[in-house]
Amino acid sequence: MIAARRLSLVPDGVHSSAPKRKAGALRVAIATQDMKSLDAHFGSAKRFVVYDVSLDDWKLVEVLDFEDVSDQSGKHRNEDVDRINPKVKALEGCHLLFCLAIGGPSAARVVSAKIHPIKVSDPQLIEDVLSRTRAMLRTTPPPWLRKVLTEAGAIEKKPFDEED
Identify whether 158 is part of a domain. no
CATH number at residue 133: 3.30.420.130
Contacts of residue 144, defined as CB under 8 A and 6 or more positions apart, other chains included, come to 116
pTM: 0.80
Identify whether 15 is part of a domain. no
Identify whether 39 is part of a domain. yes
pLDDT for res 8 = 59
Distance in angstroms (rounded) separating the CA atoms of residues 21 and 155? 15
Average pLDDT, the chain: 82
Identify whether 130 is part of a domain. yes
For 51-95, the pLDDT digits (tens) are 999 888 999 999 999 986 665 555 555 555 677 899 999 999 999
Identify whether 14 is part of a domain. no
Q: Which domain holds residue 139?
A: 3-7+22-150
Total number of domains constituting the chain: 1
Identify whether 164 is part of a domain. no
Identify whether 140 is part of a domain. yes
**Helices and strands of the chain, counted as H and E runs:** 4, 8
Identify whether 155 is part of a domain. no
